[in-house]
Amino acid sequence: MCADMSRGVQGIDHVGITVPDLDEASRYLEAVFGAVRQFDLENGDPHPSRKDQDSLGVRPGVRWRSSRLMSLGNGPTIELFEYDDDDRRPAATASDYGLQHLAIYVDDIDAVARRVVEEGGRLLAGPGDLSGPEGGEGNRWHYTLAPWGSIIELITYPQGQNYEREQHVRRWRPRPDQ
């Protein structure tokens, strides 16, 4: 990507996911994806965005309990949030506004899909071959549902994608040299 196009943006630093139980969600991400715990933030830790929950749009009476940051391969960090909330609502579906799924690049979709089920998740649509601009030898996808209701897509495109033959802008892809 041309430096002028990035406007100083380097990439996604982290993705936040609210979960019902921080330890259970962490255990799931560790078992299925090999995520590694970085550190925890607890209620009372100094952090400006957590002192004024109204700025995050949570309902009155909801209290942030804690967060955990986890490394996942060489991609962005995942920040898990746990709140005390008597009016908890289910995770958004694919047709709701806002962020609706997280895609994780994996080397072996079938092996990771088995771990999803073994660890209490569900398999949704797929597995399927990527087609059109995303197509290519071995390119596949599979949607899954985490135990807390978040949609997590498994994706792989080991030899690149068809669009790369005509387009110089590339999707992020894991680099083995990092």
State how far the Cα of 44 lies from the Cα of 37, in Å rounded to an integer.
20
**Strand, coil or helix: 135:** coil
In the chain, count H helices and then E strands: 4, 9
State both tokens at 64: 């942030």
pLDDT at position 1 is 44
Please give the full DSSP string across 43-99, using - where no structure is assigned.
Answer: TTS--HHHH-GGGGTPPTT-EEEEEEEEE-TTS-EEEEEEEE-TT--PPPPTTSSS-
pLDDT at position 100 is 85
pLDDT at position 84 is 85
14: left (phi over 0), alpha (psi -120 to 50) or beta: beta
What is the residue-level pLDDT of the chain in tens, covering all 178 positions?
444 566 766 778 889 999 999 999 999 999 999 999 999 988 655 554 544 455 667 777 788 888 999 999 888 899 999 988 888 888 888 887 778 889 999 999 999 999 999 999 999 988 999 988 888 999 999 999 999 999 999 999 988 888 888 888 877 776 654 4
Angle, to 10 degrees, between the axis of helix 22-33 and the axis of helix 109-118?
A: 150
- What structural domains and CATH numbers belong to the chain? 1-85 (3.10.180), 94-178 (3.30.720.110)
Which of these, 165, 110, 107, lies nearest to 135 by C-alpha position? 165
pLDDT at position 48 is 44
State how far the Cα of 90 lies from the Cα of 151, in Å rounded to an integer.
12
**Strand, coil or helix: 158:** coil
